[in-house]
Amino acid sequence: MLSQLRRIVQDVAQEPVLNNALAGLVSNVKNALKTECCSVYLADYEQQHFMLMATDGLNPEAVGQVAIGFSEGLIGWVGQREEPINLAQAHLHPRFKVTPEVSEDRFSAFLGCPIIHHRKVLGVLTIQQGESRVFSEDEESFLVTLGVQLASVLVNAEMRQAASQNSKQQKNTGQLQGLPGAPGIAIGEGFVLEPSSDFDAISLKKVDDPEKELSRFYKAVKITKAEFNRLAERMAGHLPPDALAIFDVYHQLLDAASLGNEIEKQIHEGWCAKSALKRVVEKFARQFDDMDDPYLRERGTDIRDLGQRVLNHLLDTEQRHHKLPEKVVLVADNVTATMLAEIPRAQLVAIVSLKGSVNSHAAIMARALGIPAVMGLDELPLFHWQSQRLIVDGYRGQILVAPAEPILAEYQALISEDAQLSARYQSEMHLNAQSACGVPFSLMVNAGLAIELESAQPSYTDGIGLYRTEFPFIMRNRFPTEAEQIELYKKVLASHPTKAVVMRTLDVGGDKALPYFSIIEENPFLGWRGIRLTLDHPEIFLVQIRAMLKANIGQGNLHILLPMISDLAEVDESLRLIKQATFELTDELAGTEVQLPKAKVGVMIEVPSIMYQLPELARKIDFCSVGTNDLTQYLLAVDRNNPRVAGLYDAMHPAVLRALHQMSLQAQGLQLPMSICGELAGEPAGVLILAAMGYDKFSMNSSNLAKIKWLLRRVHLSELQLLLPEILACQSPKQVRLQVQRFLDQKQLLNQLRA
């Protein structure tokens, strides 16, 4: 049953044209359950009805014609109840509605099952039969399981429909709801970057020009064959002849008489070269996987390997084939720092990351660049995005696909308003960061992505409050050497010569992977991350610390920050290694004039355990910096990178705010300098609440800095302090936001904070 279900869902996912996908679905389900009729209805929330989209058993003419209101008939009832309804004699049920167009008089038994995605009913799947009987538990559970699996495939049905038509002929703008990743609005063209040539990442697609696809395929095969010849030559002296024979097998497999022939056939059926290759490779590899003979089973691996090589070459030519549009909306499964580096900054207008959530590092990178981002649209295969005209609304987390002219004009006006507001904030950038009553604040930048951009106006900031060193590590294909690190850190320290620069030691793991050091874990955010990893690899930690200390020679503004500390022993061990590196360097410098300045050492407060050990911590270190991004995820037990639980991830949760308040009081008592470097500090509501709690050092993305300074300059601390008890008494993040909004509204600031 499982494999049947998987195939049915895969077939739906792989068929680009929605109507064909649903037509295939209903006949597959009908056959699998040996019933007499299967139909699928999809919800239309604008019209408030379910539309019959496909049927195998009812009148086919009714498809696309018969709509059943949300509160009508058995279909509406399944939608309202949000559970399966199983009836032996459907026509006797009081909710039964006669719909003559569908011709269902001959059916008595009815089983309807809702298709629900994130609490929203997307449609209803039904099976019907002449015999009046209740469908069995097995049949019911088959349909329920299918409904659950289909939901994520069908969630963006509108977009699939829209994208399968020529976008120029479209009358309606498609709208997709994701998660707001970075604020702002942009209009541009979808440009898809696929991370690796992995078959799983390839979405199936049909195209109009098979000849072009065939020529691409032949070209890739030619390059692959040449590659095999080179490999065979290179291996000739090292492998026995029978092992070398594998290259001949590969050659033959690629020939027209073998796999090549199958792939050509698929291309003639309309599949693009990549899709044809994927379909054939997966089909044959699966057949070999299922064989009993271990030798033949192994051949499945050969086919995959061969397919992978051809795919690499196909993707190479394809990436070259798509011209970079003038205004790029970068779309990727998982946007990485390396991908961002591939697009010239002047052309990059927005980011769409299908995976990830509000505080994933891809979203933080977008905020650092000051461009909008929408996250978590996982269900829509990548190819749907290529070359589409898109409006990216990073405030609401929405994407408008192929927008009509009047909509474009409306958004264009919003973009201009946003620009005017930014100019207003910028005009005060040179003024002091202080409240309306004159209380000073220290506003610093979070950097690491691209130092030139992020510290554009160093003279108007109070230094770098968080330099994420992992990005330079991610951009390479090996660990950077000590010399490379020294050069880089020198530039960073010199960018704010008289101000503090807080450099965090390598914090990889979680959603930040090094391309050359893969960590596969079931639970990466609770796993080998940050300091845990670097203390297990002192050779990496020590090289980095030495590089930082050396870069600090002649500068003296280095602050070292330790990420993901959950235990005091980690602090002790880090301090021991820092001391060791300091001794080594002092030794090296003995006899020279050169002085090694002492660097301050601090700890990130982002794991809840360490909040309860502040007194001990205060005796060991010079400062700490609160990482509200991780603190929120660990306090609330919500993965910051998982769009499914994005609704639960909120730094404005009263529990998070109370923890921050208690910490502020405790740090003041301990005279432990404490700053905030999580994203909360760069949010207008967040910074006001934090200031009310007594925090006065905030580090944020440079794109937020002008706005935050502008805002702080307009509030009195005493007003914020009056607001604080009301905030701390709130029971939900929503209430907190309302309180702050009311405050901003009273001060006539609300409508000046965004277009």
Catalytic sites, residue numbers? 361, 677
Rounded Cα gap, residues 699 and 677, in angstroms? 5
Q: Say whether residue 630 binds Mg ion (CB under 5 A).
A: yes
Of 121 and 685, CB closest to ligand PEP: 685
What 3 state SS string does 530-577 have?
CHHHHHHCHHHHHHHHHHHHHHCCCCCCEEEEECCCCCHHHHHHHHHH
Which residues have a Cβ under 8 Å from the Cβ of 745 and sit 6 or more positions away?
Answer: none
> What is the layout of strands, in order, in the sheet containing 179-182?
174-177, 398-401, 389-393, 185-192, 328-332, 348-353, 373-375, 179-182
Of 461 and 628, CB closest to ligand PEP: 628
Q: Say whether residue 650 binds Mg ion (CB under 5 A).
A: no
| Three-class SS state of 42 | strand
Which residue's structure tokens are 């009310």?
Answer: 692
State the binding partner of 264 from Mg ion, ligand PEP, none, CB within 5 to 8 A by kind.
Answer: none
State the binding partner of 744 from ligand PEP, Mg ion, none, CB within 5 to 8 A by kind.
Answer: none
State the binding partner of 678 from ligand PEP, Mg ion, none, CB within 5 to 8 A by kind.
Answer: ligand PEP
Q: How far is the CB of 696 from ligand PEP (least distance, A)?
A: 18
Looking at residue 393, the DSSP 8-state letter turns out to be: E
State the binding partner of 309 from Mg ion, ligand PEP, none, CB within 5 to 8 A by kind.
Answer: none
Of 361 and 490, CB closest to ligand PEP: 361
Beta strand extents in 107-184 (DSSP E only): 109-117, 120-129, 174-177, 179-182
Q: How far is the CB of 375 from ligand PEP (least distance, A)?
A: 14
CB atoms within 10 A of CB 470: 21
Q: Say whether residue 639 binds Mg ion (CB under 5 A).
A: no
Exposed/middle/buried for 460, CB within 10 Å: 0-12, 13-18, 19+? middle
State the binding partner of 194 from Mg ion, ligand PEP, none, CB within 5 to 8 A by kind.
Answer: none
Q: How far is the CB of 523 from ligand PEP (least distance, A)?
A: 16
Q: How far is the CB of 694 from Mg ion (least distance, A)?
A: 22
Q: How far is the CB of 441 from ligand PEP (least distance, A)?
A: 18
- State which amino acid sits at residue 147: G
Looking at residue 460, the DSSP 8-state letter turns out to be: G
- Whether 649 and 641 have beta carbons less than 8 Å apart is answered as no
Of 85 and 449, CB closest to ligand PEP: 449
Rounded Cα gap, residues 629 and 106, in angstroms? 59
Of 15 and 606, CB closest to Mg ion: 606
**73-77-79 Cα angle (round to 5):** 120
| Three-class SS state of 486 | helix
Q: Say whether residue 627 binds Mg ion (CB under 5 A).
A: yes
State the binding partner of 57 from Mg ion, ligand PEP, none, CB within 5 to 8 A by kind.
Answer: none
State the binding partner of 628 from Mg ion, ligand PEP, none, CB within 5 to 8 A by kind.
Answer: ligand PEP
Looking at 149-157, 620-628, 682-690, 705-713, which segment touches Mg ion (CB under 5 A)?
620-628
CB hemisphere CA count around 459 (13 angstroms): 2
Determine how β-strand 398-401 pairs with β-strand 442-447: unpaired
Which residues have a Cβ under 8 Å from the Cβ of 420 and sit 6 or more positions away?
Answer: none
Of the candidates 606, 639, 650, 679, which one interacts with Mg ion according to CB under 5 A?
A: 606
Q: Say whether residue 509 binds Mg ion (CB under 5 A).
A: no
Which residues have a Cβ under 8 Å from the Cβ of 317 and sit 6 or more positions away?
Answer: 216, 219, 220
Q: How far is the CB of 539 from ligand PEP (least distance, A)?
A: 23
State the binding partner of 156 from Mg ion, ligand PEP, none, CB within 5 to 8 A by kind.
Answer: none
Of 660 and 715, CB closest to ligand PEP: 660
Q: Which residue is nearest to Mg ion (CB)?
A: 630
Q: Please give the structure tokens belonging to residue 197.
A: 């040539």
Of 53 and 651, CB closest to ligand PEP: 651
Exposed/middle/buried for 592, CB within 10 Å: 0-12, 13-18, 19+? exposed
Q: Which residue is nearest to ligand PEP (CB)?
A: 627
List residues near ligand PEP by CB under 6 A.
364, 466, 468, 507, 606, 627-630, 677-678
State the binding partner of 675 from Mg ion, ligand PEP, none, CB within 5 to 8 A by kind.
Answer: none
Q: Please give the structure tokens belonging to residue 319.
A: 């990436």
Determine how β-strand 120-129 pairs with β-strand 109-117: antiparallel
Q: How far is the CB of 128 from ligand PEP (least distance, A)?
A: 53
Of 279 and 468, CB closest to ligand PEP: 468
Looking at 260-268, 349-357, 622-630, 668-676, which segment touches Mg ion (CB under 5 A)?
622-630
Q: How far is the CB of 443 from Mg ion (least distance, A)?
A: 20
Q: How far is the CB of 508 from Mg ion (least distance, A)?
A: 11
Residues 9-38 interacting with Mg ion (rule: CB under 5 A) = none
Of 224 and 629, CB closest to ligand PEP: 629
Q: Return residues touching Mg ion (CB under 5 A).
A: 606, 627, 630
